[in-house]
Every structure is written in structure tokens, then in C-alpha cells.
Amino acid sequence: MNHLNISNLFSVTGKTVLVTGGSRGIGKMIAAAYVTNGAKVYISSRKAAVCDAVAAELNAEAASGGSCISLPADLASAEGRAALVSALSAQETSLDILFNNAGATWGAPFEEFPENGYDKTMDINVKAIFMLTRDLMPLLKANATKEDTSRVINIGSIDGMHVPIFDNIPYAASKAAVHQLTRVLASKLAPEHIAVNAIAPGFFPSNMTQFMMESEEGMKEFESTCPLGRVGGPEDMAGLALFLGSRAGAYMNGAIIPIDGGTVLGR
Ligand SMILES: NC(=O)c1ccc[n+]([C@@H]2O[C@H](COP(=O)([O-])OP(=O)(O)OC[C@H]3O[C@@H](n4cnc5c(N)ncnc54)[C@H](OP(=O)(O)O)[C@@H]3O)[C@@H](O)[C@H]2O)c1
């Protein structure tokens, strides 16, 4: 077998993957990319009916060997995380790739920012990643080798790298925390043969960015700040997500990778 052949180097066939927040937006883009390329993908989010329907939709489009299984849970709560870990552990003895993607934002002016908005943002964006990764360690360690590490891939944001254009201050702080959590875990988990990296998206169409897509003024402002002048799409996210999960990305560790058309650079 030629290991440098693109279909071997970037293969995710046969991998077991968990994508939190895999029921829509960026998480669904990642789940679809993996199912299409022969991985067994678990998706988790709060709305069970949506999660089940998306798993059925992705199964209908799956390539040979690829499949999608719905495991709904509220990952902002300890009970929800425990239920997910126990359901996954009942079905799998190992996990190759964990995408910590589920997240939320809350926009409000600084002077009026509600405490529950702050807590909601931090609980799902930061605490859930820390706790879920901790509790999935036995599964992540099971298949990990020095040459082909298991992967934890956190979804940060360019809002954790620059000052965002919107009043979402705790969100920006939460994403900076995701990036630093990524670096620290990358160093701490490396002896277990687990690599940890973060994807920092710019603007991708999703529920989270719907309010902006609907605003002509907001889109004009975005286009003026993105050097490539367009939003990201499924192929853009799939390309990076597949690279980071495949043999091709095995030596990446502790990287925070912007995928934003250059937005974080400014123009
Ligand atoms: N879209 C962008 O432009 C952009 C840019 C930078 C970073 N990001 C990041 O990318 C990730 C995905 O965002 P998105 O834009 O795809 O947003 P989205 O469309 O709102 O999707 C969020 C996903 O997370 C799930 N979720 C939210 N709270 C949850 C909870 N407590 N427990 C379990 N699942 C939960 C949602 O499902 P339920 O509601 O059913 O739970 C949904 O599947 C987030 O971390 C976000 O911060 C997005």
C-alpha cells in the first residue's frame, strides 16, 4: 500500500467519530463529510427528533461503511454528558475522533448583558468541552498509537482571536478559552497518543449566523472585513475536518487553525 496516495493519507474509513452539535450547521457539515467517507459517526444535540432525522438523512447518503447514529443529550449539564458517555460506551470500546463542536452565542450590549447569558455561553462552549473530553478519555485512549493518534478537535472561533464586530463579549472570551484549553490539553494528552487541535471558523451560514444572513447591512459589513469576500461552505469545513482526523493530520498538535477567508487578518 502506498501511504502517500491521497486516498490512503486522507482516509477516515472505519474511524469511530463523535460530533457534538452534529444536528445542524458546522457540526452537520463535519458529520456529513465523515459519513460520506466511510466513518461511523455519532451525533449529539438536545433536540432528539432533529438529531434522529439528521442521522436518518446522513445514513441515506452514506458511502460504503459509513453510518450515522443519533445520541441526543444536553451537554451543558453533567447529567446529559454522563448519559452520552454511558450510551457511547455501551456501543463502542474506542473512539478515534471527538469533535467538540456544540456551542452557543448570546448577543447583548455590555451594560445590559444578563448573567444567564454569560453562564449559558461558558457552560456549553468551555465547560462541556473540558468535562466531556475528560470523561471520554478511556475510549479515546483505547485505539491511540504514537504513529496514528486519536484526535480531539475543538471548534473555537476567530472571535477568540480578534475583537468581534458584534456585542458578544462572553462568546469571544469563551472561544479564547477553547483555544487555550486546546493548547494545554495538546501538551497534557500527547503522552497518551491523543492529539488536540482547534478549528477557528470565520463566517459559516448556520442558525448561529442566521441573524446576520438576514441583514443586508450585516452582510455588507462582513464582506468588507473578509479578504476573500465570501462565507464558508461545507467543502471548506469538510476539507479541514478530514485533514485533521486522517493520517495526514496525525502530527498536528496544539494548532489553532483559522478557516475564515483571511477575516482575522483584517484588510
Ligand atoms: N457559524 C459560524 O459562523 C461559526 C463561526 C465560528 C465558530 N462557530 C462555532 O461552530 C460551532 C457550531 O456552530 P454553528 O454555527 O453550526 O451553530 P448552530 O447552527 O447553532 O449549531 C449548534 C449545534 O450545537 C447544538 N447544541 C447547542 N447547545 C447544546 C447543548 N447544550 N447540548 C448539546 N448540543 C447543543 C445544537 O443543537 P440543539 O439546539 O438541538 O441542542 C446544534 O446542533 C459552535 O461552537 C460555534 O461557536 C460557528
Identify the residue whose C-alpha is closest to ligand 1 atom 34: 45
Cβ–ligand 1 distance for 47 under 6 Å, the answer yes
9 vs 254: CA distance, rounded Å? 21
Residue 1 inside a domain? The answer is: no
* Best of 208, 222, 263 for a ligand 1 pocket test (most atoms within 8 Å of beta carbon): 208
Orientation angle between helical segments 128-135 and 169-189, nearest 10 degrees: 20
Q: What does DSSP assign to residue 193?
A: T
Residue 56 inside a domain? The answer is: yes
194 vs 16: CA distance, rounded Å? 14
Give the DSSP H or E segment for 257. Answer: strand 256-259
- What is the pLDDT, as a whole number, of residue 120? 98
Q: Which domain holds residue 175?
A: 6-260
Residue 267 inside a domain? The answer is: no
Catalytic residues: 171
Residue 154 inside a domain? The answer is: yes
Q: How far is the CA of 28 from the centre of ligand 1 (A)?
A: 10
- What is the pLDDT, as a whole number, of residue 66? 97
Residue 134 inside a domain? The answer is: yes
Cβ–ligand 1 distance for 176 under 6 Å, the answer no
Residue 219 inside a domain? The answer is: yes
Cβ–ligand 1 distance for 21 under 6 Å, the answer yes
CATH of the domain at 233: 3.40.50.720
Ligand 1, closest atom to CA 24? 43
Q: How far is the CA of 146 from the centre of ligand 1 (A)?
A: 32
- What is the pLDDT, as a whole number, of residue 222? 86
Q: How far is the CA of 164 from the centre of ligand 1 (A)?
A: 18
Residue ranges in the chain modelled with pLDDT below 50: none
Ligand 1, closest atom to CA 51? 40
Q: How far is the CA of 22 from the centre of ligand 1 (A)?
A: 8
Cβ–ligand 1 distance for 25 under 6 Å, the answer yes
Residue 139 inside a domain? The answer is: yes
Nearest to 250 by CA among 195, 180, 191: 195
- What is the pLDDT, as a whole number, of residue 142? 98
Based on the structure, what is the number of domains in the chain? 1
Ligand 1, closest atom to CA 158? 6
Own/partner contacts of 221-226, CB < 8 Å, gap of 24 or more, are 221/165, 222/165, 224/267, 225/165, 225/263, 225/266, 225/267, 226/202, 226/260, 226/261, 226/262, 226/263, 226/267
Residue 265 inside a domain? The answer is: no
- What is the pLDDT, as a whole number, of residue 148? 87
Cβ–ligand 1 distance for 249 under 6 Å, the answer no
